[in-house]
């Protein structure tokens, strides 16, 4: 399906004017910040030409990391929170620079990192782990329980984006137009080693990933590298229902070493939450007022329970 191609001047204007929200974490030598862009246009119509189908409808305003999480962000959280998250040695793939994307991160480790972002700033943990460090589902007795998403606590401020949240930030636009690529266009991005030129992405057999803030053109919402650089974890199960601990998680966006998975119709499967590779990283999402979403989740959960009782 051919979608409307955005004009260069219009695209640059939208990306350049995207609202950037900076959140600070850690203290002293371990302090760092994460930049987010606002993803507005709540209750947008889903994309019916992508994968899964339909996809990308989100009923609320949220914020998505402008960049992927960097190695420095992991290292400082490890020191500040004693997280023991491991990183892949990228010496043979462009080096282990502080601003390179954090790779070798499993889904469980990404969830652990997100939990620390929450708890270190006085917010509720997004994901539940037992006393042995095993990921478990939230249960009806837990505060913040959401019957529609047993992975994510509805009171959390920071979390891994769902496939709908990730997809909207990548391929959507404030006008509601959907694009095939995360650069605000239906045309295949130009492959680059690094840089921030519009309609470019880091893919196609490069030596390794670029720095997180030098990894291609922006999406219509103002995010970078949702196409290429590294694959990114979402908090969605591949089957679309977050109700089983050990089911495949959805990865999106493609990586520097290949030509696939950049387009909106491509998904990556066979991803257990405890696996980690040099190609996998992640970005963070945020809601400004978790309490508002908690009320929405309670309402949706109540409706879901009512439907089950009636059936």
In tens, the pLDDT along 59-89 reads 999 999 999 999 999 999 999 999 999 999 9
**Res. 292 pLDDT band, cuts 50 70 90:** low
Looking at residue 275, its pLDDT comes to: 92
Distance, in Å, from the CA atom of 202 to the CA atom of 189, rounded to the nearest integer, reads: 9
Contact 258, 206 (CB under 8 A): no
Residue 1 CA to chain centroid, in angstroms?
Answer: 25
Model confidence at 244: pLDDT above 50: yes
Match domain 8-310 to its CATH number in 3.60.70.12, 3.90.1170.50, 3.40.50.720, 3.90.1580.10: 3.90.1580.10
Burial 159-192 (b: 16+ CB within 10 A, else e): bbbbbbbbbbbbbbbbeebbbbbbbbbbebbbbb
Model confidence at 273: pLDDT above 60: yes
Work out the average pLDDT over 148-157.
Answer: 97
Q: Which residue has the higher pLDDT, 268 or 41?
A: 41
Over the chain, what is the mean pLDDT? Answer: 90
**Cα→Cα distances 77→72, 86, 89, 156, Å:** 8, 12, 18, 18
Model confidence at 159: pLDDT above 80: yes
From 299, 8, 38, 258, select the one nearest 168 (Cα to Cα): 38
Distance, in Å, from the CA atom of 159 to the CA atom of 115, rounded to the nearest integer, reads: 8
**Res. 270 pLDDT band, cuts 50 70 90:** low
DSSP state for residue 11 in the 8-state scheme: H
């Amino acid at each position: 399906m051919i979608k409307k191609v955005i004009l260069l001047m219009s695209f640059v204007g939208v990306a350049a004017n995207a609202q950037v929200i900076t959140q600070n974490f850690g203290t002293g030598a371990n302090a760092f910040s994460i930049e987010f862009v606002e993803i507005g246009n709540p209750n947008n119509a889903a994309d019916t030409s992508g994968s899964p189908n339909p996809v990308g409808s989100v009923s609320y305003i949220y914020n998505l990391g402008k960049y992927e999480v960097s190695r420095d962000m992991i290292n400082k959280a490890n020191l500040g929170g004693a997280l023991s998250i491991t990183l892949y040695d990228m010496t043979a793939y462009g080096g282990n620079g502080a601003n390179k994307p954090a790779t070798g991160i499993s889904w469980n480790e990404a969830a652990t990192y997100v939990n620390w972002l929450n708890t270190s700033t006085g917010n509720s943990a997004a994901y539940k782990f037992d006393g042995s460090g095993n990921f478990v589902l939230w249960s009806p007795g837990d505060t913040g329980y959401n019957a529609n998403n047993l992975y994510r606590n509805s009171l959390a401020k920071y979390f891994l984006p769902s496939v709908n949240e990730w997809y909207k930030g990548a391929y959507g636009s404030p006008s509601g137009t959907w694009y095939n690529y995360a650069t605000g266009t239906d045309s295949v991005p130009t492959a680059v080693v690094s840089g921030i030129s519009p309609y470019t992405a880091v893919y196609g057999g490069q030596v390794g990933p670029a720095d997180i803030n030098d990894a291609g053109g922006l999406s219509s919402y103002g995010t970078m590298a949702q196409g290429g650089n590294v694959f990114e974890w979402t908090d969605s199960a591949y089957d679309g229902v977050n109700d089983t601990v050990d089911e495949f998680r959805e990865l999106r966006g493609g990586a520097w070493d290949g030509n696939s998975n950049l387009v909106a119709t491509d998904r990556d499967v066979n991803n257990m939450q405890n696996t980690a590779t040099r190609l996998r990283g992640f970005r963070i999402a945020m809601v400004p007022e978790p309490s508002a979403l908690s009320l929405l989740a309670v309402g949706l959960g109540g409706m879901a329970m009512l439907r089950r009782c009636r059936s």
